[in-house]
Amino acid sequence: MSPRAHPHLLDLPILPIGESSVPGAKRIIPLANNEATEPPSAAAQDAARKAMAGANFYPSVTHAELKYAIAAAYRVDPAKIVCGNGSSEIIALLAQAYAGLGDEVIIGRHGYLYFSICARMAGAAPVYAVSSGDANHLSFGLQAALDAVTRKTRIVFLDNPCNPLGTYVSRNDLRTFREKLPEDVLLVIDGAYADYATADDFDPGDDLVLAGENTVVLRTFSKIYGLAGLRVGWAHAPASVAEVLNKVMRPGNLSSVSLAASEAAAKEQNLVAERRDRNLQARDAFAASLEADLGFTVLPSQANFVLVTPPRTAPMDASALYEGLMAEGVLVRQMGPYQLPDSLRISVGTEEEMNIALAAIKMLEAA
């Protein structure tokens, strides 16, 4: 008889990832995975090269230098920072540490799919919160989430801004939501795209971390810093949660190269601001053209992507458009796994890449 995994893991889905190549394509426009269109900074690349000279030694397990760099950049206490192999590692560990068999974890119906996967890995049941009756019905339903809380609820995962919608929860709404949640429910705010947000009433939620023992804010170096391939994320967590995470975190989870590059990147906040502005300009110009020229519906976004829906009268629906764009070497993301089969998520690239993508969409929809 062969070894058997836990029964609740047998039908666990694999997190879908967008295409990164097309056989035979002469040119690829990679707009499927919300990656930074710009490479790591020169300083980050130089730090990574220098770190390679000492790669025969194990990396730091305390991540002290990186924590101090993050603390200076984001004005948080380094003692309340926990670094992970991407924020995805921390999401998984939080689910395993704070939820288990018979428990419930509340997530957005159209939020980041890894939340539900991690909840199920821990043996907990994902419970979906969906707004209804207003223009933001796709977004995370704050009242629906509160209504869904039971004695079994252990965690609420909230991606802010939301992937794949690009929508966000405002500062006041986030604070009110936390106040109404039971104190023993952990609120995990995934701010993977927070560095792109420019809305006046957006706030990543760090004040909530300081206000109690029940809120964690996650961030990443994968997006605006352009370090997706090095897998570095971090949590701003209350002392009690940080202690738990440090106990269950695998020692040496970050390579010396990843630590050095992300430390250097964290010190370049002027560059972050420049990239944020370039993203805003390219994103909003692309969205405006899709709406004005083709009648597409584009959700207002605070991230480095947009969710677009062709009109029902368009020659190509989302599925056909996806296939047509792939044939042109323009890679975007299908949204069927997110229960949005009529839409596509398109990452924001350079101005040139967005112009190429726009021209390809117009050509296909005019065929």
Query: Angle 318-327/351-366 helices, nearest 10 degrees?
Result: 120
User: What's residue 133's pLDDT?
Assistant: 46
Please report the pLDDT score of residue 37 as a whole number: 87
Closest CA to 254 of 92, 87, 115, 119: 87
Give yes or no for a contact between 32 and 331, defined as CB atoms under 8 angstroms apart: yes
C-alpha distances out from residue 266 to 79, 161, 234, 320, Å: 17, 20, 12, 41
Q: What is the structure's pLDDT at 209?
A: 97
User: Phi/psi of residue 156, each to 5°?
Assistant: -120, 120
Q: Splitting the chain (367 residues) into consecutive groups of 10 residues, what average pLDDT does each group show?
A: 82 78 81 94 97 95 96 97 97 97 94 94 92 58 92 97 94 96 97 97 96 96 97 97 95 96 97 97 96 95 97 92 95 93 96 95 87
Domains and CATH numbers, the chain: 7-39+270-366 (3.90.1150.10), 54-267 (3.40.640.10)
Distance CA 252, CA 256 (A): 9
Tell me the angle at which helices 256-266 and 42-52 cross, rounded to the nearest 10 degrees.
150
What pLDDT, on the 0 to 100 scale, is given for residue 22?
75
DSSP β-bridge partners for residue 57: none
pTM for this structure? Answer: 0.93
Residue 137 is predicted with a pLDDT of 57
